[in-house]
Every structure is written in structure tokens, then in C-alpha cells.
Amino acid sequence: MELTKKGSSTIFDLGTFERRAHAQRVEHIEEDSIADLPQDLLRNDVPALPEVSELQAVRHYTNLSKKNFSIDGQFYPLGSCTMKYNPRAAHRAASLPGFLNRHPHAPEKVSQGFLGCLYDLQNILKELTGMKGVSLAPMAGAQGEFAGVSMIRAYHEANGDAERREIIVPSAAHGTNPATAVMCGYEVTEVGVGADGDVDVEELKSKVGPQTAGLMMTNPSTCGVFERQITQIADIVHGVGGLLYYDGANLNAILGKVKPGAMGFDVLHMNLHKTFATPHGGGGPGSGPVGVSDRLLPFLPIPIVEKNEAKDEGDWYSWASAENTRQSIGKLSAFSGNSGILLRALAYALLLGEQGMNRVGEFATLNANYLAARLSQSGFELAYPDRRATHEFIITFAKEAKELNVSAMDIAKRLLDYGVHAPTTYFPLMVPECFLIEPTETEDKSELDGFVDAMKAIREEMLNDRDLVCTAPHTLPVRRLDDVKAARELDLSWSAPS
Amino acid sequence: MPYIPHTQSDVESMLETIGVDSVDELFDEIPAGLAEEQPGSLSAGLPELDMLQSMQERASLDEGNICFAGAGCYDHHIPAAVWDIASRGEFMTAYTPYQAEASQGTLQLIYEYQSMMTQLMGMDVSNASVYDGASGLAEAILMAVRSNKTNKSGTVLYAESLNPDYLSVVETIVSSQGIQLEAMAIGEHGTVEIADSSQPEPAAVVIQQPNFFGRLELVDEITNWAHSCGALVIAVVNPTSLGILKAPGFWGDNGVDIACGDGQPLGVPMSSGGPSFGFICCKSKYVRQIPGRVVGRTEDLDGRVGYTLTLQAREQHIRRGKATSNICTNQGLLVTAGTIYMSLMGFQGLKETAIKSHQNCNYLHSRLLQITGVEAMFGGPFFHEFAIRLPIKSADLVDAMADQGILAGVSFTKFDIWRDKYPNALLVAVTEKRTKAEMDKYVDVFTRVLAG
Amino acid sequence: MSEVPIELGFASTHEWAKQDEEGLIVVGISDHAQDALGDIVYVEMPEVGQQILAGEEAGVVESVKAASDIYSPVSGTVEEVNERLDDSPETVNQDPYGDGWFFKLRANDDRELDELLDADAYKELCESEED
């Protein structure tokens, strides 16, 4: 079908035998350069990589990019993802040649710039979270969680406490939490969440015991509300000798308002690609630094940067020595994590400063509450109408699903036609047909009002032209895609037409 | 406040709609005593100009070293168009492509990436990336152990010639999952010998090519031997080297089961070793065990070709405690750069890059060996990296040459397992970027440092 | 309301079992289960010759939105697996009690069949889960 072919040529379809980007050729190659290599270890096939000119490649990927929604292009209220503006200044700072071209094994004497930056970021993160130590090593939230749970494990082992085999997780938790606990060799047990969105404290009391290694949770929770009984929860878990882990995915709600350290958490991870505005890149890279209280300090993943103030010529930064990190859980990446992302996060912190950081939580919360109020006033159903929204909130379409046979997914797809990226759908799992909406603090009032208008318009359509909503989107490069076909008839890489 | 657009009148209007008098009221559910009262100790916010000047001061301290270091991170030329396109806001500020219809750019790009990787590796399937080569190897090991139906021993053999940083990360990640790691020793030639393996039969065997010392392993023999023991074979490879070296899908009689490594040489700046991306490729029979995201091609309601995330039921957000991995965010932006790089270079460009790197390497190697007191650590062919033994401590040489603007290589003392055994050893990498003048300067400075 | 044939025994985890003419125990998933899963895209089966205890994991059934473990309702040795599901996993959706069977066991103890829920009890279970 003509339409199909033209709109979707892959880079391979555009190629022609022996076409190439000539400017990228490498010259002065001698004929017999590889004669010293054993013939049987050499390649004798020609893999099908693209054979295109430079303009073809540039045009192809430029046009592909235009098929994407992005923060730069659209309002992107994805709950739990914190899609705030990615400051270009941070990208520029991290791309300065001295940083961009640094080899990870460059000796310390020519690395004082980079090491100084990491040291400063460690301190800033400590200050913001109220924790005693920070490691910048984990490369994303999930790795941060792995580090955190591994440290909990190391702590109990160091105490000779071998009976602790369980990690408790709220039923509403993000999937990475139980997946991580299992990766660290733990069993997972769930504790329920009440109708008001708070963890069921009575159930928690019945579930803790000598087998409890720790509890993983976030605050505000994945329900978008503040866990009001956090102090009690901390006491219950600490009371049986367990540790408390904070999933920092929702840190944006409380930045500058409450510190996780003050709430009693022993260990946490942050998501720099959320809270610190580093770019999401179509699925990464992220960065998931961890912070710890005193008792977990010895176990921090390496590398960590130290400052030596004894030298006469001023500050000297170095990697923490092996002796100082003897009990570390170890390395999580070949080098020092997603270093370029760390530099972006530092740039962001420098741009915001003390006051700016304190405002993040305030304005993220203001925007969310405003949006929640307007949507509620327009007739949409809040999942937790008696609670304050934090930086995010949940709407449920359970009523619309039942009465009009329209699902949250349908509404999400129709929003795309209005030029808005849909909020997170169907998470947390326990609220049926839901949207988890997080506007972030970088959106202005008119953008939020525009979103409300779009939602109202779609509700009209649900009543008068149901089909339009249920077969949305209509204005994007593709219409709704066949997921079942994608999973049943796996086509995961291009092959030449026969 | 930077990036917060609200005016005073916006705030007032919004508070009125909500029905509160102040922003503080919105935090009234937070128990008193938890809220932060005292001012913190961060400095005041900087305008963009000042921030960039401050960062530039720091960056200047680290500038201006000609790079002859490798050990898993390489200084290759990156075509100008790669980051021009990868930095477009539509790529850089998009999120994970969960709403497929709004993410066809990213999804099609990942499909093309997967296609290129399977071709380059000679394998059937690729995922959409993991964090880096080292953590990717850990995931590959977990995957191999899961997938081996007949051998449930949990024992994994790795070549001692594996990158020590990779080994370190693997130990951190797999230690709590009942896996025993055992080394296959290297012989005097710096490669692995299997003749005297008397270990229990492993579930998986890990082999790196070129190995950490730049030496070339007998990958066909090792692959066949591992398969004959009922083990899965995991290859750790440098993608640039596959411009001329045999791809892991063709090792031995049947090819390896899983191929992994780091994609940094494909258009990703060194940037202190991160962010880059790890790749994992496998045979089709293991596709449901591969960690991370996978993009598939399908059709929309009108029969139009489209792309979407598939096989998501294996991932953490659905399978939770029984997921193939806990990975969520991966390295999307770097994959974007890598894909554009491979499109601009094509196989011909990769091949030329590999050959020129090897050519330069041979040149520097032969010049250095002419200097008194310098010896090759291992005899035999090497690719793009080599290890030499010096008459002085290699760390001292690196420090001294750094004063002259040259990053001479990586001292073996950086690695716990080699520090005591080889304190005078240096690992040197040379890419296509190094000019004859730079290499001659290296020899010059090197000679003078050794002389005193 | 989904179909619940009276001659089958059911596990509380939504698998059904019955004895066939050759005395083997045939196992599959219920109509309720296939409906809840949605379009099935893949079925992972146990190996022929594998020994499984009642209640143990015997495989995985995967749809676009979920991957659920299948538990064997009785103990025994796997004699046969339904290879048709390799190419046509949708058979489970279309005919969960007939052509959509998963595997057949030679049971250790036929009496384990009696311990399963009968059709009425299973119907009740489904109704209570729906609330």
C-alpha cells in the first residue's frame, strides 16, 4: 500500500549499495595494516548497516524527531515522571570541552574540575535531603533502589542479623520496588493502602517482625497524597529493627519543604532526570544518586569524591580510597555513573540556588492543586477529593467507563489530538481507569487552563461522538497501534525484502 | 525564579480558584515539626551567564590532554551531525515512548538501532539498551543463568582477561542472587587457556574480545568447548572492533548465545565514562528473557506501519517481583546518538575506523618497544590496545606525562586485581584520531620521562 | 458471566483439570482467566518429563498487559504439551476448555482431582473476586 511504504521508510530502505557519507571516510589506510591479525578471527560477512549519504541520514532522523511529542513541544503532565523544562544551560555546561573530553581514568591532577563538581553535587544533595552521606554512582532510579536495598542487606549482615528475609512494599508501589527487592535476594510482602490514600498502619503493624529487613515507600505516595502517618510508620519499622527506604521519585513535591532525613528515612535514592531537570532523552539516561543516614555510611556504593583541605595550595579533590570504602557494596558502573548527567544536575542546582530549590516544591504543589480544583469544578472525579494534591493527583474515569463505555486509555489517546501528551494511565493499579497528573512547576497558568479546556472538550465528545474518542488518535503520524500483533508476531529488527 | 513562570497575579488567581489564602496552606497535611524552617546552606541562585563562567573555570582545569587511554572508553571521532540531531528537543526532551502514537520518532529510531546491532553482532535480537557495558554484562549473566534449562548450578566462568571494572560491577550486582563466579586463568600470553579447566560445568561462560589487554582470544575454540559443556556463551565485545573482527554470532560452530558490551565508541563522547549505553543481543530463543525494553514493528488501525514497545509483560512495571530485571529508564539519548553515528559511518566507515586504529596502534607500539627498558607484556596479536611493562611505576609515568598534556594510558595499579602483580604495567590505546605528530610527541615525552 | 463446564475441577488460581480417556490429567485455564488476561500472545509450557507438584508453577501465560504464572492443579509428570499454542496462542482465548488445553500429566494420585473446586464453587469464587 503506497501510503504505508512512503510514510515509514527505515534508514535501510533509503540505502543503496555503496552509497555512503564520504566526509566521514578515514584516510591513509595502508593495505596490509591488518595482516598481523589471525585470519580466522576476522570478519568475512558484510553486516547490513545503512548505506546512505549524509543528507539522507540527517533528513531521515530530523523527520523522525518531528513525529515525537516532547517537553519542548507539548505540555507533558506524566504523573511520577516530573516532566519539567530541561534547561539548555545545563546541557551547555556539561558539554564544555574540558568535561566532555575527559577520560574516566585521567589522573587526579588533571581532573580537579570534574572532581570538584562531583564533590559539590554530593554536598548539595546531602543538604537538600537531610542525609549524612551521598553517592552519585547509580545510573538511574532502579539502580539507586538496588544500591539502597543492597546497603540495607549489608547493614543487617554486618550486624550478624541473618533472619531478616522480607522487604515490605505498599500495594500501590512502583514496579521497580518489588523487582529490586527480589534482585537483592529478598521476599516481598505487601501492605495495603486505605481509601484515603495512606498506608494501612494497622496492617503494617501485623506484618512487621524479626523477619523484616525494611520497608520501601515514597512520600508523597504514588497516590499523589502526603503520607500523614510517616512518623508512626518510621517508628513501627525501626521498632522491629528494620530500615526505611525512600523512593525519591516524588521528591519534586517536597523539595524545600520537608527533608526525607527528617521523616526518619535511613536511605533514599533521587531521580536526577525527574527532580533535577536532566533531559529524559526518549527513555534515559537518568541518574539515581543515593543518600544515607549515619549507620549506612560505610556501605555507600563507590566511587565517592573526598576533599582534602590540608594541602597548602587550596582544595584538593580525590576519589575516596580503598581503605575508606572497605565496606562499600561496590561499583555499579564501570566508571563513575552517568557523569555528564551529574554535571547537568549541578548546573541546575547552581542556577536555582537556595531560594529556587525551595520554590520548586511550592510551585509544583500550587500548579497541581490548581489543576485539580479546576478539573473537579468542571465535573471530573478526583480519586482523593478530601486530600490536598501534592505535586500530582489522580482522576478516575470509573463512572465514565461504566456509563459511556469509554476508558482512560481512550481519553488519553484523544488528548494527543489536542496536542497534549497524556498523563500517566492505569497507575497506581488500585484506582480504576485513572490518570495520574503531574503538571510540574515550570508550566504557566495558561498552559494549565488549556489542558482543562481540552479535557472538557473531550468530555463533550464522549457524550456526543463516542466513536471519535474510542478510535483516537486521529491527527498523529499513526492511528492506534496493534499491540497484540506486535507481541504475537515479533518483528524486532529490519530484514531485507526477499 | 528561574524556570518558574508565575507572576504575583497568577498566584493570587490560582489560590482563589483553589480556595486557600496562601501557598503554605497547601502543605497543611504535613505534620508540624517535619517542615523545614531554618534557611539552608546552599548559595544564592546564579544567572545562566555566571553559572557557565563558574563551570568553565572548572572545566578549564581538566582540558588539553591528548588521549591514549582506553580500558573501556575510547576517543573516536564523532561526526558533527550526530549531536546536532540528537540534541534536538524532540529527541532530547521526549520521555519513554509509552504513548506509542506520540513517539513514533523515538520508537522507529530504536527499531533501527536494534536492527543495526543485530547485524553488527551477527545475532537475532537486540534490546533497546541498558545502562552501560558493565551492568549490561551483569544482566547478561542473570539472563544466561535464567535461560539455561539444563544446568541450574548457578556457576559462571569468566575469563581473567575480562575488564576488571566490569568484573567489579558484576560482583556487586549478582552476589545476592546465588551465582558463583569463577575465573578462567590467563596464561603467559595474556589469553585464556581452557585445556586444564577442571571446574564444575558452568551454566555460562564469559569471554571478552579483544580482551582487557587488547589481546585476541581463541573465541571459536572457547565457544565450542563451552557449548559442549552445556554452558551458554556470553561475549563482551567492542563495537568498533567488529569493523574487522568476527562478530560473536559467528564464533564457534553455533555462535554465542548472548553478546553485550558498551556502545560508547559509537558516537558517544567520553565525558568521564558516562552516560553511554550498554547493548545486549541474543539468539531468538532467549528473546523472552532479555532485560529492558524492546521495540517491535506492527500496524495501526489503517494498516499503516508503526512501532511500539512490546514484550512489556516481562518488565518491572507489569511483572513486578518476577520481572526479568528492575530496569526502567535506560539510555535512550545515547542510543539516538549511536544510531545516527552508525548511519553516517555505515559498515565501511566502521571498518576504516577499526583498521586505522589498529594501524596507529601498531605504529606506536613498535616505536615504544624500541626504547630501552620497555617490553611488551604479552606476545601475540592485539587490536587497538596493548600492554607494556616499564622500568618505572606506570602511575608515575602517567602523572609525569600529564604535565606535558598527554594522557599516556591507564596504569594497571588502577585495578585491585592487577595492582600488586603488575605495578609497572601500562595499557595504551590508540584510535584513528591520533595523528603521527601526536604519536611522535608521545614517544618524545615518554623517552624524556624515562630518562629522568 | 463466563462459561464454567460442570465436568471440570478448578483450582482457586483459575486453572481447570479433567481426566481424559487415556487416564491422563489435562490442564488449562478457565474462561474467566482468559477474559481477564486479554489477547494472549505467548504461552510458556513445562517440559515433557518434568515433574510438578500440585500448586507449583508449571508455566507462564502472557498477554499484552500481564504475564501470569500457571500453577499445576495436581501433582504428576508432564506427558504432553499443546504445541498448537506455540503458533496460535489465541486458541486459549477462543476455546479455553477445548483446543486451548496447555499440558497433560500422568498424575501421581488421581484422588487429587477430587480436592479441586467443582463448577459451582468456582463460580462463587469468581463472583466474590469481582467485588
pLDDT of C1 over the 80 cut = no
C-alpha to C-alpha distance for B262 and A211, rounded to whole angstroms: 39
Determine the 3-state secondary structure of B261 from DSSP: strand
* pLDDT: which is higher, B123 or B35: B123
| pLDDT top residue among A337 and B42 | A337
* Contact state of A488 with C62 under an 8 Å Cβ cutoff: no
Whether the CA torsion B337, B342, B344, B350 is positive or negative: it is positive
Whether residue A421 and residue B102 make contact (CB cut-off 8 A), yes or no, is yes
The domains located in chain C, with CATH, are 9-130 (2.40.50.100)
What is the overall mean pLDDT for chain B?
A: 93
d(CA B9, CA B19): 15
The pLDDT value recorded for residue C130 is 66
Would the CB atoms of A488 and C89 count as touching at under 8 Å?
yes
Residue A463 distance to chain B (closest CA, Å): 23
Contacting A residues, span 462-491, partner chain C, CB-CB under 8 Å: 483-484, 487-488
How far is B323 from chain C, CA to nearest CA, in Å?
9
Query: What would the pLDDT profile of C42-51 be if each residue is shown by its tens digit?
Result: 999 998 999 9
Measured in angstroms, the CA of A482 and the nearest CA of chain C are apart by 10
Contact (CB, 8 A) for A50 and B116: yes
Q: Is the pTM of this model over 0.80?
A: yes
Q: What stretches of A173-243 show up as alpha helix (H) in DSSP?
A: 176-183, 201-207, 230-239
CATH 3.90.1150.10 location in chain A: 357-483
Predicted confidence (pLDDT) per residue in A91-114, tens digit = 999 999 999 999 999 999 999 999
- Flag if A279 and B245 touch (Cβ within 8 Å): no
Q: Which of C44, C47, C65 sits opposite B318 (nearest CB)?
A: C65
Looking at chain C, which residue has its C-alpha nearest residue A485? C41
Distance separating alpha carbons of residues A460 and A379, to the nearest angstrom: 12
| Chain-chain contact of B344 with A26 (C-beta, under 8 angstroms) | no
**Per mean pLDDT, which range of A175-179, B17-21, B114-118, C86-90 is the poorest?**
A175-179
Residues of A in contact with C89 (CB under 8 A): 488
Decide if pLDDT at A1 tops 50: no
Q: Do A487 and C90 touch (CB under 8 A)?
A: no
pLDDT at B196: 55
Between A4 and B231, residue with greater pLDDT: B231
Across the range A32-60, mean pLDDT stands at 95
Say if CB B132 and CB A320 are below 8 A apart: no
The reported pLDDT for the residue numbered A4 is 43
Whole-number pLDDT of residue B45: 94
With bands split at pLDDT 50, 70 and 90, how would you rate the model's confidence at A179? confident
Q: Do B316 and A176 touch (CB under 8 A)?
A: yes
pLDDT of residue A2: 36
CB A421 within 8 A of CB B103: no
Best of A427, A484, A490, A491 to mutate (most C CBs within 10 Å, chain C) = A484
Cβ atoms of residues A469 and A462 within 8 Å: yes
pLDDT category at B311 given cuts 50, 70, 90 is: confident
How many Cα atoms occupy the beta-carbon half-sphere of B260 within 13 Å? 33
Residues of chain C with C-beta less than 8 angstroms from the C-beta of B149: 47
Question: C-alpha cell of B240?
Answer: 568498533
Output helix, strand, coil percentages for chain C, rounded to the nearest 5. Answer: 25, 35, 40
- Across the interface, do B95 and A61 touch by the CB < 8 Å criterion? no
With CA atoms as reference, the chain B residue closest to A45 would be B246
What was the pLDDT predicted at B313?
73
Report the distance separating Cα A167 and Cα A409, nearest Å: 33
Tell me: pLDDT of A327 over 70. Answer: yes
pLDDT digits 0-9 by tens, A192-238:
988 888 899 999 999 999 999 999 999 998 888 999 999 999 999 99
Indicate the class that CATH gives domain A357-483: alpha beta
* CATH level 3 topology of A88-349: Aspartate Aminotransferase; domain 2 (3.40.640)
Omega before A220 within 30 of 0, i.e. cis: yes
Q: Which residue of B has its CA nearest to A219?
A: B30
Contacts of C63 in chain A (CB under 8 A): 487
Question: Does any CB of chain C come closer than 8 Å to the CB of residue A195?
Answer: no
Find the CB nearest A421 among B29, B88, B99: B99
| Binary contact (C47, B149; C-beta < 8 A) | yes
The ranges of chain A annotated as CATH 3.40.640.10 are 88-349
Q: Give the minimum alpha-carbon distance from A247 to chain C in angstroms, rounded to a whole number.
A: 24
Measured between alpha carbons, how far is C95 from A2 in angstroms, rounded to an integer? 38
Which residue of C37, C39, C42, C45 to mutate against B (max B Cβ within 10 Å)?
C42
* Residues of chain C found within 8 Å of residue A487, distances taken between Cβ atoms: 41-42, 62-64
Q: pLDDT tens, C91-131? A: 999 999 999 999 999 998 888 888 888 888 888 888 887 65
What pLDDT, in 10s, does the model give residues B78-118? 999 999 999 999 999 999 898 999 999 999 999 999 999 99
A454, three cell numbers: 481540552
Chains with at least 3 CB pairs less than 8 angstroms from chain B = A, C
Distance from CA of C46 to the nearest CA of B (A): 11
- Least confident stretch, A148-162, A299-313, A405-419, B266-280: A299-313
> Does the pLDDT of residue A310 top 80, yes or no?
no
**A284·B333 Cβ contact <8 A:** yes
Q: Which chains touch C (3 or more CB pairs under 8 A)?
A: A, B
| Per-residue model confidence (pLDDT) at position A8 | 65
Question: What DSSP line would sit under A437-498, residue for residue?
Answer: E---TT--HHHHHHHHHHHHHHHHHHHH-HHHHHT---SSSS-SB-HHHHHHS---S-----
Read off the pLDDT of each residue in A180-202 and give the average, rounded to a whole number. 91
Chain B neighbours among C 70-129 (CB < 8 Å)? none
User: What is the number of residues in chain A?
Assistant: 498
Distance from CA of C39 to the nearest CA of A (A): 7
With a cut of 70, say whether residue A321 has pLDDT above it.
Answer: yes
Q: How confident is the model at residue C64 (pLDDT cuts 50, 70, 90)?
A: confident
Min Cα distance B373 → chain A (Å) is 24
Q: Give how far Cα B391 sits from Cα of A323, A350, B388, C101, Å.
A: 28, 46, 10, 72
SS3 of residue A92 by DSSP: helix
Residues B166-208: tens digit of each pLDDT: 999 999 999 888 899 999 999 999 999 885 555 678 999 999 9
Shortest Cα distance from C50 to chain B (angstroms)?
11
**Which pLDDT band, with edges at 50, 70 and 90, does B452 fall under?**
confident
Contacts across the A-B interface (CB distance below 8 Å): 678
CATH number of B80-340: 3.40.640.10
Q: Residue B198 has what pLDDT? A: 57
Q: By the CB < 8 Å criterion, does A31 face chain B?
A: no
In this complex, do B349 and A477 lie within 8 Å of one another by their Cβ atoms?
A: no
Sorted by sequence, the CB contacts under 8 Å of residue A445 that are 6+ apart come out as A370, B6, B10, B13, B14
- Tell me the pLDDT tens digit for each residue of A358-390: 899 999 999 999 999 999 999 999 999 999 999
As a whole number of angstroms, the distance between CA B408 and CA B393 comes to 13
Which one of C37, C39, C44, C60 makes the best mutation probe of the B interface by having the most chain B beta carbons within 10 Å? Answer: C60
Domain ranges of chain B: 66-76+347-451, 80-340
How many angstroms separate the CA of residue B331 from the nearest CA in chain A?
4
Interface of A with B in 279-338 (CB under 8 A): 279-286, 301, 322, 329-338
Say which residue, B34 or C80, is predicted with more confidence: C80
**Rg of the Cα atoms in chain B:** 25
Asked if A271 contacts A249 with a C-beta cutoff of 8 angstroms, the reply is yes
- Top mean pLDDT of A7-11, B32-36, B128-132, B192-196 is at B128-132
C65–chain B Cβ distance below 8 A for any pair: yes
Does the beta-carbon distance from A282 to B109 stay under 8 Å?
Answer: yes
CB within 8 Å: A487 and C62:
yes
Q: Which residues of A touch C39 (CB under 8 A)?
A: 484, 488
Return the CATH number of the domain spanning residue range B66-76+347-451. 3.90.1150.10
Beta bridge partners of B306: B298
**What is the bridge-based pairing of β-strands B204-209 and A424-425?**
unpaired
State residue B130's pLDDT score. Answer: 94
